Chains A and B, each alone.
Chain A
Amino acid sequence: MAIPIPMATGCRSSSRWSMVSLKSALPPLTSAASSIKLPCRHRTPPRIRSPQLVRSFSSLSLVNPLHSLGFSDMSSFGENFTIIDNGCRFYAMRHGRRVPKLNRPPDQRRALLRGLTTQLLKHGRIKTTRARASAVRKYIDKMITLAKDGSLHKRRQALGFIYEKQIVHALFAEVPDRYGDRNGGYTRIIRTLPRRGDNAPMAYIELV
């Protein structure tokens, strides 16, 4: 009986694996688990199911064989399969990761950064949190570099990123005069007083 091991599907882009994939691959484990108090998982009413399902786990070699009975806390680190033997890097710490996550999922993060660059190009100076200001610098530099090139393809790439098309056309019109001599570093960040509601460190970011 081949029970697929989710880790063999290779290192995902986040290089982390989750219990969800493991649980979805394995048969559901509600019998003994519900009878023993689990912290936050299954609130199903206690049901006594036949123990044959539990015995079917024997083909999967677990680090802790008692886990199949559901004794330990299912979300503890002690029972995870850290043997990812296809060569991908997996650190428990953040070493070397340079993408700012901004406490948002990837689609929201992209939308936030698009909105911030649109507003900064529209108003010239905005006030936002320090983390967002330093995250948006990269995208502003990209947009100004696209405008410096000026070709149709670059214009369409900029139109795909910035939300308002008048801003793109205005940007492509004025960037050669304004930033023609400057190589990079088109923004300036000035730190300022924290925000009153949540004491978040704030900053002004402006086009140089």
Chain B
Amino acid sequence: MARSVGTLVVGGVIGDVLDMFTPASEFTVQYGSKQVTKGCDIKPSVAADKPRVQILGHPLSSNLYTLVMVDPDAPSPSEPRLREWLHWLVVDIPEGHDATKGRELVAYMGPQPPTGIHRYILALFKQEGAMEGRIEVADVRANFSTRRFASQNRLGLPVAAVYFNSQKESAVKKR
């Protein structure tokens, strides 16, 4: 079942990071007890550990997926000089399983927005086959390009995406 991508367009995810796509798969992302919905607010303290990402589908199917988590608003939404900042990269996730079953190429780094409200986008790509190790992993996380990564590894358009907002927590606990 295809979810509409309207929220992604409105939030600027499609355009800044991804190209227009039709959702073909579904996946759920959960930080502890909090489920990530498009555009929801998650505190950096809650998102410090890696989430449980579950790809919905038939566990016996042979499809493999790649998960990319980027922040297009680094270091600040008004001046995104380091667009995009790569937070997490996992390949070879079998369908119907969660992200721990894949191969983690770039370790998970939690959101640490220095200033402003940042968007954190989790995009899912379908792989043609198993990634053998052709992937060049950049040493720096800054100035990552999801589009370039997808074209280099022949991933095509994403099949699903979700994003959440996060901002620096103030030292004093807000109401």
Contacts and interface: CB of A to CB of B under 8 A. Distances in A.
B79 A124 contact: yes
Interface string B111-128: 000011100000000000
Contacts of B76: 123-124
Contact of A125 (B39, B40, B117, B175): B117
Interface residues of B, number: 17
A142 B52 CA distance: 45
B76 to A, nearest CB: 6
B113 to A, nearest CB: 10
Interface string B147-171: 0000000000000000001010000
Contacts of A204: 117, 165
Interface residues of A, number: 18
B172 interface: no
Most chain A CB within 10 A, of B73, B78, B175, is at B78
B96 interface: no
Contacts of B41: 192-193
B77 A124 contact: yes
B165 A123 contact: no
A5 interface: no
A124 B78 contact: yes
Nearest to A123: B116
Contact of B12 (A188, A192, A196): A188
A208 to B, nearest CB: 8
A29 interface: no
Given A121-B78, A123-B115, A124-B116, A192 B39 contact: yes
Contacts of A121: 78
A4 B115 CA distance: 59
Interface string A113-124: 000000001111
Contact of B116 (A125, A193, A208): A125
Contact of B73 (A125, A127, A174, A192): A125
A11 interface: no
A177 to B, nearest CB: 11
Contacts of B115: 123
A148 B93 CA distance: 48
B9 to A, nearest CB: 11
Interface string A154-177: 000000000000000000001000
Contact of A123 (B10, B11, B117): B117
A47 B73 CA distance: 71
B175 A124 contact: no
A174 B80 CA distance: 12
* Nearest 8 interchain pairs by C-beta: A124-B78, A124-B77, A123-B116, A125-B77, A125-B117, A124-B116, A125-B116, A197-B175
27 contacts: A121-B78, A122-B78, A123-B115, A123-B116, A123-B117, A124-B73, A124-B77, A124-B78, A124-B79, A125-B73, A125-B116, A125-B117, A126-B117, A127-B117, A127-B167, A174-B79, A190-B10, A190-B11, A193-B41, A196-B175, A197-B175, A204-B117, A204-B165, A206-B77, A207-B77, A207-B78, A208-B12
